[in-house]
């Protein structure tokens, strides 16, 4: 059965040509992964990095043998995996603890499932709990633990089976920043000795700094469907100093890879050259919401953090950011999103002034200039179809109905022109 496969002793676990479709409730198939090739070697930490929804967790589950891929194969130490992948311990993003069991029991249950005798269960559980710094909390219940302690318990569980290969799915996303920093360093400490397990770690993250701190290799994924965009080696020596210049340079580099083709900056030249640019599908309140959020953060934040903290899907957050940038309310240097002077002025203004400032900004966009000029020429009234045609001519590949709807919302907010749906008529106010 293994004859066709060249023996790769330097590979611990591997996904070959993996594609995956999910079947939706209505029976249609959604392709979430396309031709994924990833190999993890012994003694290595590999990270899957990409925006929310790109398929990171699905790749992890496929490598763990929890999901059978639609196409392609998984290998562990050169053997094709059918069913669960041997040697794997998993730390899930949600803690997956049993609330009615104590800390010790939550670990022992995993060892019992692994078939260990009761004596051994107790001894190993105790050691794992000590290793993650939960000694003294053996008899506590999960509800009595902080987020960071719950995560430690999740790690203790995964480590207690002495897995050769540790999988972690966004393990620190539910703990505060300071605790996360400590836990990252502790996991690396556990992994580092070459003669003890875990030998390798596969982690999933959308946090660039986290993967630069932890990983030896970073698999950068793109979305819809998830594909490997590139794999970046991380040569930084350990222990890593998150404030060193080399560290920051690698963070910047990854940031550029991820955002380079998609960042709002792409709208810049089109606007400046006076062509009609697509309007991101966003409501005015979403744009205002972003500005207010940024203000609460002192005027600057990282786009990944904004998406995570405001509960917006990453792609939609990009659309809102792009909209705010087209309106000159934010700037998007490679590190993140920054309120501009105009943005601050807008936030400081009363409701009526905000509308004026909004109007001023949309009138810098070619689409609004053209529609406004058309309205003036036509004595204040034009049909919606006329404007739709304008949009189709300028941007044949855009969804013109959506763009029309967004345009109407933006224009209404700035009191620039109104739209009556029944009559399909735009009019100056």
Contact residues: ligand ADP, CB under 6 A: 22, 30, 32, 50, 52-58
Structure tokens at 297: 């953060």
53 binds, among ligand ADP, Mg ion, none (CB under 5 to 8 A by kind): ligand ADP
Q: Which is nearer to ligand ADP, 169 or 286 (CB)?
A: 169
Helix 147-160 × helix 103-113 angle, to 10°: 30
Q: Helix, strand, coil proportions of the chain in percent (round to 5)? A: 45, 20, 35
CB of 58 to Mg ion, least distance (A): 8
Nearer to ligand ADP, 52 or 197 (CB): 52
* Min CB(109)–Mg ion separation in Å: 25
Task: Please tell me the distance from the alpha carbon of residue 370 to that of residue 376, in angstroms, as a whole number.
Answer: 10
DSSP string, 107-157: HHHHHHHTT--HHHHHHHHHHHHHHTT-TT-TT--GGGS-HHHHHHHHHHH
Q: Which does 52 bind (CB under 5 to 8 A by kind): ligand ADP, Mg ion, none?
A: ligand ADP
| Minimum distance of Mg ion from residue 260's CB (angstroms) | 23
Would you list the DSSP string of 222-291? ETTTBEEEEEEE--PPSSP-TTSHHHHHHHHHHHHHHHTTTSGGGHHHHHHTTPPPPPPS--HHHHHHHH
CA distance 242 to 264: 27
Smallest distance, Å, CB 218 to Mg ion? 16
Residue closer to Mg ion (CB basis): 38 or 323: 38
Q: Are 304 and 206 in contact (CB under 8 A)?
A: yes
Please name every residue paired with 47 in a beta bridge, in sequence order, or none if there are none.
203, 218
C-beta of 169: minimal distance to Mg ion in Å?
A: 6
Q: Give whichever of 174 and 344 is closer to ligand ADP, judged by the CB atom.
A: 174
* CA dist., res. 95 & res. 267, Å (int): 40
Partner touching 22 among ligand ADP, Mg ion, none, CB below 5 to 8 Å by kind: ligand ADP
Residues near Mg ion (CB under 5 A): 57
**The two three-digit tokens of residue 306, written as one number:** 């904004």
**Which of 30, 341 has the CB closer to ligand ADP?**
30
Least distance from C-beta 211 to ligand ADP, angstroms?
A: 13
Q: Which is nearer to Mg ion, 57 or 222 (CB)?
A: 57
CB-side exposure of 340: number of CA atoms within 13 Å? Answer: 13
Q: How far is the CB of 389 from ligand ADP (least distance, A)?
A: 34
How far apart are alpha carbons 368 and 415 in whole angstroms?
Answer: 12
Q: Which is nearer to ligand ADP, 221 or 371 (CB)?
A: 221
Instruction: Give min distance, CB of 225 to ligand ADP, in A.
Output: 8
With contact defined as beta carbons under 8 Å apart, do 183 and 148 qualify? yes
The entry of Mg ion, ligand ADP, none that residue 106 binds, CB within 5 to 8 Å by partner kind: none
Cα-Cα-Cα-Cα dihedral sign, residues 50, 230, 11, 184: negative
User: DSSP characters for 173-212?
Assistant: TTS-HHHHHHHHHHHHHHH--TTSS--EEEEEES-HHHHH
Using omega within 30 degrees of 0 as the cis cutoff, is the peptide bond preceding 269 cis? no
Q: How far is the CB of 204 from Mg ion (least distance, A)?
A: 6
Nearer to ligand ADP, 221 or 375 (CB): 221
363 binds, among ligand ADP, Mg ion, none (CB under 5 to 8 A by kind): none
CB nearer to ligand ADP: give 56 or 312: 56
Closer to ligand ADP by CB, 29 or 130: give it. Answer: 29
The partner in contact with residue 55, picked from ligand ADP, Mg ion, none with C-beta cut-offs of 5 to 8 angstroms by kind, is ligand ADP
Least Å distance between CB 64 and ligand ADP? 13
**Which string of b and e fits 49-77 if b means at least 16 CB within 10 Å?**
bbbbbbbbbbbbbbbbbbbebbebebbbb
Residue 200 interacting partner from Mg ion, ligand ADP, none (CB closer than 5 to 8 Å by kind): none
Residue 284 binds which entry of Mg ion, ligand ADP, none, with Cβ cut-offs from 5 to 8 Å by kind? none
């Amino acid at each position: 059965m293994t004859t066709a496969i060249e023996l790769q002793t330097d590979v611990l676990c591997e996904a070959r040509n993996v594609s995956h479709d999910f079947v939706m409730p209505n029976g249609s198939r959604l392709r979430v992964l396309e031709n994924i090739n990833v190999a993890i070697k012994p003694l290595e930490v590999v990270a899957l990095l990409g925006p929310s929804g790109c398929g990171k967790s699905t790749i992890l589950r496929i490598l763990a043998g929890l999901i059978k891929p639609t196409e392609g194969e998984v290998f562990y130490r050169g053997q094709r995996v059918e069913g669960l992948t041997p040697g794997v311990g998993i730390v899930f993003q949600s803690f997956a603890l049993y609330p009615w069991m104590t800390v010790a029991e939550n670990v022992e249950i995993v060892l019992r499932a692994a078939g260990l005798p009761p004596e051994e269960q107790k001894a190993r559980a105790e050691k794992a709990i000590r290793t993650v710094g939960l000694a003294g909390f053996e008899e506590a219940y999960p509800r009595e633990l902080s987020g960071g302690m719950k995560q430690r318990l999740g790690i203790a569980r995964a480590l207690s089976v002495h897995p050769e290969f540790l999988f972690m799915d966004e393990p620190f996303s539910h703990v505060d920043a300071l605790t996360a920093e400590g836990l990252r360093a502790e996991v690396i400490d556990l992994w580092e000795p070459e003669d003890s397990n875990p030998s390798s770690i596969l982690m999933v993250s959308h946090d660039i700094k986290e993967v630069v701190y932890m990983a030896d290799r970073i698999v950068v994924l793109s979305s819809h469907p998830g594909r490997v965009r590139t794999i970046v080696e991380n040569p930084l020596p350990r222990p890593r100093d998150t404030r060193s210049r080399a560290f920051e340079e690698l963070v910047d580099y990854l940031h550029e890879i991820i955002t380079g083709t998609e960042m709002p900056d792409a709208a810049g030249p089109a606007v400046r050259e006076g062509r009609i640019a697509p309007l991101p599908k966003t409501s005015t309140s979403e744009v205002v919401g972003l500005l207010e959020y940024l203000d609460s953060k002192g005027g600057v934040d990282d786009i990944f953090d904004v998406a995570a903290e405001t509960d917006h899907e990453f792609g939609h957050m990009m659309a809102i950011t792009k909209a705010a940038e087209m309106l000159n309310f934010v700037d998007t240097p490679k590190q993140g999103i920054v309120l501009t002077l105009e943005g601050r002025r807008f936030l400081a203004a009363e409701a009526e002034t905000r509308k004026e400032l909004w109007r001023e900004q949309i009138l810098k966009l070619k689409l609004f200039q053209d529609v406004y000029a058309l309205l003036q020429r036509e004595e204040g009234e034009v049909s919606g179809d006329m404007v739709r045609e304008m949009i189709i001519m300028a941007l044949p590949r855009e969804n013109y109905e959506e763009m029309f709807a967004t345009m109407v919302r933006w224009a209404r907010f700035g009191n620039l022109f109104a739209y009556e749906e029944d009559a399909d008529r735009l009019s100056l106010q």
